[in-house]
Homo-oligomer: A and B are copies of this chain.
């Protein structure tokens, strides 16, 4: 049913790689601050190629947001989900957050959503839904990880999973903001252990 062979002249660039570069530009410079020149230069393609492959600037922007939600943004969440020991899982989540906030491979700092995308809510159509969906999705996954611990019996049956998931998310936002503001990884790590303890206390 699915025909993978495409008609016409094939692309000379990698779609996903170009999209990742575009995300870096938006992340660093913001939506309005990122010019088409900046984007095409970083992506290594020309203007018409960009428009043919990704649509206009706004559509490209939305695609980079989806890319972040699917790949980049959930790295700490994955660390949280995969570690079996809940204490280590929380510490792993926060450590990953601090790491991301201070030294992302793209050179950008903080969280793409919290540091750049959030500015364009109400300005660029399609952004608000994506940001809200990203929050809901992440918090549900975090809460589910706590619930799993309740099932295992490691946490009491009345442990407030949703509340703690929301708290974990807020801590994440705080770290991301500090990272964007220039705080060092070391400075952010000093309260880490007591925060882990707080998140588990009941």
* A interface residues with partner B (beta carbon < 8 Å): 28-33, 109-110, 114-116, 118-123, 128, 131-132, 135, 160, 163, 166-167, 169-171, 173-175, 177-178, 180-183, 191, 194-195, 198, 201
Contact = CB atoms under 8 A, between A and B. Distances in A.
Contacts of A195: 167
User: Copy number of this protein in the oligomer?
Assistant: 2
B171 A28 contact: no
Pick the most buried of A31, A119, A123, A174: most chain B CB atoms within 10 A of its CB.
Answer: A119
Contact of A180 (B110, B121, B163): B121
Given A28-B123, A114-B114, A135-B181, 5 more contacts: A29-B32, A121-B180, A131-B181, A167-B198, A201-B201
Nearest to A188: B166
Q: Chain A binding site: helix, strand, loop or mixed by DSSP?
A: helix
A118 B113 CA distance: 12
A114 B177 contact: yes
A182 B121 contact: yes
Contact of A173 (B29, B177, B182): B177
Contacts of A166: 174, 191
